[in-house]
Chains A and B, each alone.
Chain A
């Protein structure tokens, strides 16, 4: 048979439980806008019943703390998608700067400045014009000035690409210290979690750890593996260990062939990080693939134009009747020795327009055979240019670059949409919903009021029992 005392005990337990639950609601509301905070719900537990004389009697309720509403699988998927989206964002930013160097020429006169495609055309056209009057000084000057424009625009583009590359290099090495700070924080949190909550969700600590992993996912590609006692191992996408329980392994950088490479425990993991994802992956992809591809196309163009024009000019006859010799070659452009670096070093070495060899070898200075031959280079497929003419090569270069940009753009849009979707799912589960909190608070308020009423009533009942009918002894 239950007693008034046990009823007191039950109802005061209920009041305690309601208070504890209310403080969880208060904490949720307080952290409604805290990044990484996971909504908590009170754990209610019905106390074990008591058997008295074969009758099972309830023994009230306990509140045993809070549970974070967390889906670790969803969280890991969000992190993974975040790595991909960050990589494509970083790559897209870099590619945007690259494509800005090759803005399409609208065809109006003001837009032709700086357009390499128009420069190539103007340069070879200047030889076509020279055909009409091979001895004309103005036309010869035109050849030199269009050569200077072409060489200037090509070498400027190459210089800009090189400086974009070194900016990416610096950005990438700057990411290293952020990665190291985060992995070190995660390993510390691992230790705390393993010691305070080895068997269950660690609440706030785990929120912090998840938040750090989320930030790490924006920087590099990682895999996370749950270990015993609620610990966590983090490796790079290709499997190099960054965090194992309480220890973390620092990324280091070093200069290799003029660019920054990344090391973990003495191993060069640059290539693995490039394909791994995150901002670092995107930066490295742009630094090691996209920009070098664009640069090498420009190099091919510069090499082919410089060497083929130089070779022809050197074997023709100039306005002074001279022909190039080994000692005094008649070169228009700085003669490149190798394809690599040709674009950056492209320049015009000829200063005297009379040295343009418009006439064929051995012909009179009024001849235009060599000018025609040089003009025809515009239509000649070159092995250096993948058997294309200079204009076709430049055209396919801009198409390829544009296709890369638009491909990465599409990829980035899709990945961001996917991140948003996962984020929405995750927020729906783990975010603090103020409506839910308001409802919970109202419910708790009602049950607290009810419990208080029961308590008051029990108090009156107890007083009546103690006074045995006399109303005045105990109130």
Chain B
């Protein structure tokens, strides 16, 4: 039977292949990454793109939640202060309405309520990071201004009805603001500024039209309830943001684990493969050395 006389060069080919294999395994070990090129694992490469996308989306959302939580908390505490101020105004008005006060006391109450009005207006004009939080979409314009040209004075809303939402990675929308008009100057009996301005006018002269003042005080109570209701919206959003942020963080942890499993080299497995490849290389080298050192043809046996 005839054999290929150049079999040593085939062995060298195998040796090259083994060395290439070792090189790849060493690269995997040193980088710790299992997929170093698309061809190595096409499906895994595609999956990796999707996983990274979701992880980064989650990460970005978590960062956004820190920011909006701050803004929502400022809105919440502002509305809390408004409620306190309004409660005080109502108790002042109630004491003025019971008919036992003299004119100067009534005037003093009128000026205290006027002070509360100013305080509430400045709370309604609260800004967060330079943006008015109760101005709807017109966050660069001071939302509430009061004109004292008429009596009662008129507080005007300069913002709009715009509501912003933060969208979660799964498409859920969380309300980020309540337009100032909805909180402070809603139409009819719910208007905080309307009721306050009327009370200030009621007490300004020292003589109280009790029927009118009682009706205006009731209007302020209704408005206070309405403010509390709007505050619930903000509180709900805070709860929602916190809950979603927690859910997203745990989702991100799972995704990161999946992505790490996909991309991380299995050190044990790769080391075993590398050790096998090294053994193979040594064996091949020995075979080649043996073939070269021994007489590799009959010529060496022929005596001249």
Do residues B2 and A429 form an inter-chain contact, with CB atoms below 8 A? yes
Any A CB within 8 A of the CB of B292: no
In the complex, the answer to whether B39 meets A105 with C-beta atoms within 8 Å is no
Consensus secondary structure, chain A interface: helix
From residue B133, how far is it (CB to closest CB) to chain A in Å?
A: 9
Given contacts A131-B64, A135-B139, A398-B45, contact A428 B57 (CB under 8 A): no
Query: Does A242 lie at the interface of the complex (its beta carbon under 8 Å from any beta carbon of B)?
Result: no
Chain A's nearest CB lies how many Å from the CB of B158? 10
Q: Are B53 and A364 in contact (CB under 8 A)?
A: no
Report chain A residues within 8 Å CB of B136: 364, 366-367
Closest chain B residue to A99, Cβ basis: B38
Cβ of B80 under 8 Å from chain A: no
Per the CB 8 Å criterion, the residue count for chain A at the interface is 71
B35 at the interface (CB under 8 A from A): yes
Give Cα A117–Cα B57 distance, bound, in whole angstroms: 12
A residues in contact with B302, CB < 8 Å: 438, 441-442
CB atoms of A399 and B46 under 8 A apart? yes
Please state if B139 and A122 are interface contacts (CB–CB under 8 Å). no
- Interface presence of B13 (CB below 8 A): yes
**Complex contact A365–B67 (CB within 8 A):** no
Bound Cα distance from A403 to B139, whole angstroms: 52
Contact B36 A133 (CB under 8 A): no
A325 contacts the other chain (Cβ, under 8 Å)? no
**Chain A nearest CB: distance from B266 CB in Å?**
14
A403 B42 Cβ-Cβ under 8 A: yes
* Interface size of B as a range: 35 or more
| Interface contact A129-B60, CB-CB below 8 Å | yes
Please, how many angstroms separate the alpha-carbon atoms of A344 and B7 in the complex?
Answer: 50
How near does chain A come to B209, taking the closest CB pair, in angstroms? Answer: 40
Contact between chains at B50 and A401 (CB < 8 Å): no
Within 8 Å by CB of A395, from B7, B10, B47, lies B47
B41 at the interface (CB under 8 A from A): yes
A132 and B137 contact, CB distance less than 8 A: no
A-chain residues with CB within 8 Å of residue B35 when the two chains form the complex: 104, 106
Closest CB-CB distance, A296 to chain B, in whole Å?
Answer: 17
Contacts of A391 in B (CB 8 A): 49-50, 53
Nearest 4 A/B pairs, CB to CB: A366-B139, A364-B137, A402-B42, A405-B39
Q: Mind listing 30 A-B residue pairs with CB under 8 Å?
A: A104-B33, A104-B38, A104-B44, A104-B45, A104-B263, A107-B256, A118-B52, A118-B56, A121-B56, A125-B57, A129-B64, A132-B67, A133-B68, A133-B131, A135-B139, A363-B162, A364-B135, A364-B141, A365-B139, A367-B162, A379-B171, A399-B43, A399-B45, A402-B40, A409-B39, A420-B10, A427-B6, A438-B299, A438-B302, A442-B302
